[in-house]
Structure 1
Amino acid sequence: MMACNDQDARLMTLLRVGRLYAPESREEVDILIADGRIAALGRDLAVPEGWPVRLVEARDLTAVPAFIDQHVHVTGGGGEGGCVTRCPEITAAEIAAMGIGTVVGVLGTDSLSRSPADLLAKVRSLCAEGIAAYMYTGAYRVPPPTLTGDVQRDLAWIPEVIGLGELAISDHRSSQPRQDEIERLVSEVRVGAMLAGKRGICHFHVGDGDRGLEPLRRLLSETEIPADQVIPTHVNRHRELLDEAADYARTFGASIDLTAFEDPGEEGLSAFDAVAVLLERGVPRERITISSDCNGSLPEFDAQGGYVGMRVARNTTLIADWQRLVREEILPLEHALDLIAGNVARVLGLQSHKGRLAVGFDADVTLLDSELQPRKTFVAGRCVYSEE
C-alpha cells in the first residue's frame, strides 16, 4: 500500500473505470476531472490532443463517491486513565486508505491538554495533505471550549467549523448540562450557522446513562429547533438505546449516527447489526449514518465508574461493517453508499458538492475492487491513496 505522489498532477484527470455508482448505478464509466471538480461523466470521453490531461486506466475497478466520516478524533482522544492513555493522532494516509475523502474532527473528554486550536491546526494539516477536513467547535463539556470565545463567532468566522460537538449527554463523563443549557447552546449554533450559511449541526455524544435520548426528545418537543440540526451518535452502544433511537428517528424524522465499534462488547451492537435492526424497525435508511470514532478511546469502567482499561478505535471497522451490509444483502451497494456518503453529506450540509458523483461536484472518488476494498482515493481530483 502506498500514498499517491500527486505533486505533479495536471489540471485535468480522466478516470476510466469498469462500473460507476453515483450512488445509483450509472451507464457512464468515464469521469473527467477539471480543477478539482467533476467536469463530465460519459463513455469514451475524448479530450483534445495537447490538453494537460492525466489518464488513469482502472477498468477493473468500480467508482463510488469517496466516503465521509463525520466523527474522527484527528488529534487523538482518550486520557480517561491519565496522560499515558492519550490516543495518537490519525494520519492522512490512514484516512485515505479506507476510501475516506472527508472527515470531521472532534474533541472528546479531554479538552484540557487538547484544544479547539490544536484541532483546527490538525484539520488544516490534513487539508494540506489532500483530505477534505472540517471540525466541530466545543467538546464534551459545557460551557464548550471555542476558538474565538463564542460558539456563534466560531461558526461565522472559521470556515472549517461546521457545528458544535461532541457535546456529551447521559454519560458520567459529561458536564451534566441542564435542559435549558442544551437548548441555549443549540439555539446559538443555529443562529451562528444561519449567519454563516452553514447547516450548523449539534453532534451529541450519547452515553449509556438512564436518561438516554430524553434531553434531545425534550429539545425537539419543547422548542422550535428542527430535527436536522441535532445528531445523536453512539446510539448502538446497547440495545435499549438503539430501540429508543429507532423511535426517536421515526417520531421526529431525525437522523441518527451509529458507531462502527471494533468490539461492541456484550451489550453493544456492531454497526452492521444496528443497521439491520433499524431497518426492521421501520427507520428510513435516509435517516441512518455510520461513523468510525477512530483514534478515540474505548475506555472500560467498573460499576462505580472507575477506569479499568482502554483500547484505541480504528476506522477499519467502519469499512468492514459497510462491506458486510452489501455482502450479506442487507442493502444493495447503491443504498449502502448513502450510509457513509450521501446521507452524511446531507446531515453536514455539504450535499451541494459532496456525497455524489455528478457534474459540478467535488471530484471525491473512491475506486473499489470486486471485494469492495478501496484501491484508489481521489479528493478534489488529487490522488491521495493508491494501492499498487
Structure 2
Amino acid sequence: MSRRIVFINQATGYLTIDVINEFAGDYNEIALITGSIRVQDIPLHEKVKVDFIVKYNRGNTIKKSISWVIGTLQIYFLLITKYRRYEKFYFTIPPASYLLALHFRSPFVLLVYDLYPEALKSFGIEKRNLIYRWWAKRNRRVFPRATRIFTLSDKMKSQILEYSDRDNVTVIPNWTAFAGLPRIGKGENRLISTFNLQDKFIVQYSGNIGQTHKVETLVEIAEMLSSSDKILFLIIGRGERLKTITSLIDEKNLKNCMVLPFRKDEDLFDALCAADLAVVTLDDKTPDVSVPSKTYNILAAGIPIMSIAAEQSEISRMVEAHQIGKNFDKNDIEGMCRFIVELNDNPDYRDSLAARSIIASQSFTRSNAKKYRDIYLEQ
C-alpha cells in the first residue's frame, strides 16, 4: 500500500530535517510545507518534495503574527489542493496550523514545541481573553483525535493532557547538531582571534532578542561589573529589541559589552565555544511551555549555563539535574553577579561545570530523531 506524508513547519531547521529524513525510507511520497530551510550539516533527503510559503518573520509581534496568519492560510490552501489525503505531521510553527487538522480525515501527528494558548501569556493574553478561550476549545477537539502527540518535557505533556482524555502524548527531548564535535579552544577560536578576546572571560547570550528574552538583564549585570576589565558580555543575535539593547549599552557607555550580528551556520559552533558562560533566558509568564533548543548546542560546546527563568521551569530543572550551572530569578542581579565573578575567579569550578555539560549533551543526540519515526510507525 502506498504511503504518503506531508510535514508542516514554517521555519525548518536541523531538528525538523533530522525528523523528516528518518521517515524518508518508509514512505512512497514525502513532502514538506515550509517558509525556509536552514541546513547546518545534514541536508534534507533528496526524496522530499518542498512547497514554500511565506517566511516566518522574527521581527516585532505584529510582523510575526502577520507571517503566522498568512502562512496558516497558505498551508490550508496547499493541504486542500495537494495534500488532502496525505498523513500530516504538524510542527507548532505557525502556532495555529495544527488546528487545520479538524478539516481533514487523514491521520495526523503533532509536535508541540510551544503550547498554545498558554504561550500567548507572554503577549499579555490571559485565560479570560476570547482568543485564549477559543484556542483552548479547539485543542480539546484536536488533541484527542491526533494519532500521536510529541512534546519536549514531562511538564509540557501534563499540560497537553489537560485537553485530552487520551494518553497519546510522548516526550522526546530535542538534541544538538554538534554531538561529538571537539570543543574549539580559545587559541584556535576564530571569533576570539578576530576580536582579540584571548584574555577575556566571556559571558555570552546568543539567539533571538525579542520581547520575552529579557536581554536587558544582562546589560544591568554588565553595568554592575563594569569595573572588571576581564569580564566581557557578548550579545549575539537578532530581533525586534536589538536596537533597544544596543542603544541602552551606548547610553550607559558600557565598554564591557559587545554586540554582534547572528552568526552564520558554519560559524555557530565556533561562536558558542568562545563563551566561558552561556546565558539562557525564559519568560517567567510561560515557564513550563518551552525549552530553548539552543540549550542542547550549548551543552555540546561544553559551556556552563546561567539560566534566567522561574524556579519551576524546565530549563531550571535541567540545569539543576545535570549540575551544569545555576538558575536565577530575573530580579536576582546581585546573585548573578556573584556567580559570574565566582566562575571567573575559580577556573577549576568552571571546568567542572563544562565537563558535566559535555556529559549531559550525550543524552541529547540525533538518535532522538529516530524515536519519532519508530513510535509513529508502530501505531
TM-score, normalising length: structure 2 = 0.31
Q: Which has the higher strand share?
A: 1
Q: Which has the higher helix share?
A: 2
**Which one scores higher on RCO, CA 8 angstroms, separation ≥ 6?**
1
TM-score, normalising length: structure 1 = 0.30
